[in-house]
């Protein structure tokens, strides 16, 4: 737990922000400032210094529209209204339901329907074509979505039931591509069977899929929503999301975590962490801007199995040396190693799971009928005479 220096009294918070009590309480209720009971007086609250400082910095910049919009792009205020997912109180919520609680028993298919806001009926397409005969799961994912994007009808103007049927079929097609084969049964069962994981694979893959199904307006989801806003097909929106996910700063984080694991294996975890800190190097797989007290998705996964000893030692070294908790990228790599899954399993699990979220956001964006078209704030050479 952070020390008292990281928390302010109500008077201190209001003084720094120049606001009245009503405004402070409004900030707390909207999740912009985290509050906790004062350990010395439970009748009072204390307010997170980092949240207050961030708001104060924004106020200091003024309310010039261009500056506000630019600051919102990187871990800033939400730029789109959505009823699907939020991060609040250090937890991840799918339409008001705790994702960690859902991961105890729910399937990805059930969560996909929840995210779309649809009814509980399971919609399945018959006679699915076999996935492309390509060597890697990643290439099959891209080929599957690209081929669908080239022929599927635009999403704009489609009836809700037609979109729901298409959404269910698209999620199945993505799962087939990751597995390298078509199959019956729940997606987590099909993936575990195709990848030949160790005993317990099915349930752990299911938990990971549910925990990764959506994460509010991240880079890949924003890409999917921008694409859907043009009226494009659900497959085209999912392809845009997959393209963004593949980057090393998003769903492609696993190789960077594995690099740290290999370094720790060669020279020991304490030396690896000390060396990275000495040269201000990254420690991928740890810390998350939205979860200052720790990523609940990682905690839910890492408590569902016992990671291999070398992963446990690395986690202890990083958390002890930096205070940063393991995030879901570390948990996915630990899971894949523990179950002896295929090499690219962390990315494939991430992509299959997040397809459910991309589709839900695409449907929600289509329902608005609005085109997402930001403006650029030009900072280049002077134009005109």
Tell me the C-alpha distance between 379 and 23, whole Å. 35
Contacts of range 195-202, beta carbons closer than 8 Å, 24 or more positions apart: 195/341, 195/342, 195/345, 197/339, 197/340, 197/341, 198/338, 198/339, 198/340, 200/305, 200/339, 201/339, 201/341
For 71, 158, 215, 378, the CA distances from 366, given in Å and listed in that order, are 26, 9, 19, 30
Tell me the C-alpha distance between 116 and 42, whole Å. 40
Tell me the C-alpha distance between 107 and 189, whole Å. 10
- Are 42 and 27 a contacting pair, CB within 8 Å? no
Catalytic residue annotation: 288, 329
Residue 44 backbone phi and psi in degrees, to 5: -110, 165
Q: Which residues contact 1 (CB under 8 A, 6 or more apart)?
A: none
Going by the DSSP 8-state scheme, the letter that residue 45 receives in this structure is E
> Three-state SS string across 365-380, please?
HHHHCCCCCCCCCCCC
């Amino acid at each position: 737990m952070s020390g008292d220096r990281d928390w302010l009294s109500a008077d201190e918070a209001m003084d720094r922000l120049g606001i009245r009590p009503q405004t402070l309480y409004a900030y707390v209720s909207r999740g912009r400032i985290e509050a906790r009971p004062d350990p010395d007086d439970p009748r009072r609250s204390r307010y997170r210094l980092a949240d207050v400082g961030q708001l104060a910095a924004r106020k200091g910049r003024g309310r010039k529209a261009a500056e506000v919009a630019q600051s919102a792009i990187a871990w800033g205020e939400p730029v789109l209204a959505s009823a699907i997912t939020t991060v609040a109180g250090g937890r991840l919520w799918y339409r008001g339901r705790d994702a960690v609680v859902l991961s105890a028993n729910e399937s990805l298919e059930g969560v996909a329907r929840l995210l779309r806001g649809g009814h509980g009926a399971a919609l399945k397409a018959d006679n699915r074509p076999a996935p492309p005969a390509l060597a890697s799961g990643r290439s099959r994912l891209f080929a599957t979505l690209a081929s669908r994007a080239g022929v599927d009808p635009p999403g704009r103007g489609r009836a809700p039931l037609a979109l729901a049927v298409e959404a269910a079929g698209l999620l199945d097609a993505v799962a087939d591509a990751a597995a390298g084969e078509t199959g019956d049964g729940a997606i987590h069962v099909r993936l575990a069977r195709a990848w030949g994981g160790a005993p317990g694979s099915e349930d752990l893959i299911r938990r990971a899929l549910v925990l990764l199904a959506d994460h509010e307006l991240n880079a890949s989801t924003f890409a999917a929503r921008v694409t859907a806003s043009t009226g494009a097909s659900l497959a085209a929106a999912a392809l845009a999301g997959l393209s963004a996910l593949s980057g090393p700063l998003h769903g492609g984080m696993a190789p960077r975590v594995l690099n740290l694991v290999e370094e720790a294996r060669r020279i020991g975890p304490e030396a690896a962490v000390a060396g990275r800190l000495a040269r201000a190097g990254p420690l991928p797989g740890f810390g998350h801007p939205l979860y200052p007290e720790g990523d609940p998705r990682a905690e839910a996964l890492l408590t569902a199995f016992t990671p291999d000893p070398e992963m446990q030692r690395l986690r202890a070294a990083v958390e002890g040396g930096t205070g940063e908790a393991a995030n879901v990228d570390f948990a996915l790599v630990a899971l894949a190693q523990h179950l002896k899954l295929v090499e690219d399993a962390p990315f494939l699990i991430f992509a299959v799971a997040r397809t459910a979220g991309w589709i839900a956001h695409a449907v929600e964006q289509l329902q608005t009928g609005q085109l997402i078209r930001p403006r650029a704030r030009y900072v280049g050479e002077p134009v005109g005479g």
